[in-house]
Structure 1
Amino acid sequence: MQAASQILVPFLVAAFLAVICMPLMRWLQHYHVPAGLAVVIIVLLIISVLTLVGIFIGGQIAEFTARLPFYEQQLNDKLTGIAVLFGQEVSIGDLLDRIQPASPMGLVANLFSGLQGLFANFFLIIFTVIFLLLEATSLPGKLQLVLTSTRGDPDYFKRFTSGVQRYLGIKTIASLVTGVAAAALTAAFGLDFPLLWGLLAFSFNYVPSIGSLIAAIPPVVLALVQIDFFQAAMIGLGYFVINITIGGVIEPRVVGRGLGLSTLVVFLSLVFWGWVFGPVGMLLSVPLTMTVKIALESSNRTAPIAILLGQADRVASR
Structure 2
Amino acid sequence: MTEQRLVPRALIVLLCTAGAVVTLSGIRAIGSIIGPVLLALVLVLAVSPVRTWLRRRGAPGWTLVAVPLILVLLLLFGMVTILTVAVAQTAGLASTYGPQFNQLLAEAETLGVRFGIGPAQVNQAIRSFDLGKVFTLVQGFASGLLGVFSSLILVTVLMLAMCLDAQTFSRALASGAAHRPGLVRALDDFAHKTRRYLVVSTVFGVICSALDVTALWLLDVPLPLLWGVLALITNYIPNLGFVIGLIPPALLGLLEGGPRTMVLVIVSYVMINFVVQSLIQPKFLGDAVGLSTTVTLLSLLVWAFVLGPLGALLAIPLSLLVRALLIDSDPDGEWVAALISGELPSESSEKPFQTDERDGPG
TM-score in terms of structure 2 length: 0.74
Q: Of the candidates 190, 199, 203, which is equivalent to residue 173 of structure 1?
A: 203
Runs of at least 5 residues in structure 1 that lack an aligned partner in the other structure: 87-94
Task: Give the structure 2 partner of residue 37 of structure 1.
Answer: 63
The correspondence of residues 29-178 of structure 1 with structure 2, limited to 5 A, is 29-55=55-81, 71-75=97-101, 78=104, 99=129, 103-146=133-176, 148-150=178-180, 152-178=182-208
SS of 2:178's equivalent in the other structure is helix
What is the identity, as a one-letter code, of the residue corresponding to 2:64?
Answer: A
Q: Is contact 2:209–2:231 with CA below 8 Å preserved after alignment?
A: yes
Give the alignment of 1:138-287 within 5 angstroms. 138-146=168-176, 148-150=178-180, 152-252=182-282, 254-255=284-285, 257-287=287-317
Letter aligned with residue 18 of structure 1: V
- Give % identity: 26
| 1:117 alignment partner AA | G
Mark the CA change 1:167 to 1:56 in structure 2 (over 3 Å): closer, same or farther. Answer: closer
- 1:225-255, Cα deviation, whole Å (9 max, x unpaired): 1111111112112222223333444445654
Superposed CA offset, 1:186-215 (max 9, x none): 111111111111111111010001111111
The residue identity in structure 2 corresponding to 1:290 is: L
Contact 2:47–2:72 under 8 Å retained in 1: no
Give the Cα–Cα distance (whole angstroms) in 2 for the partners of residues 285 and 149 of structure 1: 31
Task: Give me the whole-angstrom Cα distance separating, in 2, the residues matched to 1:243 and 1:225.
Answer: 23
- The change in CA–CA distance for 1:160 and 1:4 in structure 2 (over 3 A counts) is same
What amino acid does structure 2 have at the position aligned with 1:240? V
CA contact (8 A) 1:145 1:154 kept: no
1:6 to 10, 13, 32: 32
CA distance in 2, matches of 1:211, 1:56: 17
Aligned counterpart in structure 1 of residue 54 of structure 2, from 25, 28, 37: 28
**Structure 2 partner of 1:91:** none
2:337 is matched with: 306
* Structure 2 runs not aligned, ≥5 long: 1-26, 114-124, 350-362
Q: Deviations over 1:124-179 (max 9, x none)?
A: 11111111111111102213444533564433333222111111111112211211
The residue aligned with 1:89 is none
Helix, strand or coil: the match of 1:35?
coil
In 2, Cα distance between equivalents of 1:25 and 1:196:
32
Q: Aligned pairs, how many?
A: 313
What root-mean-square deviation, in Å, do the aligned CA atoms of Structure 1 and Structure 2 show?
Answer: 3.4
Mapped contact 1:144–1:155 kept (Cα < 8 A): no
Instruction: Return the letter of the residue paired with 1:293.
Output: R
- Give the deviation of 1:80 after TM superposition: 6.4
State the AA in 1 paired with 2:218: A
Higher relative contact order (CA 8 A, sep 6+): 2
- Aligned with residue 297 of structure 1, among 312, 322, 328: 328
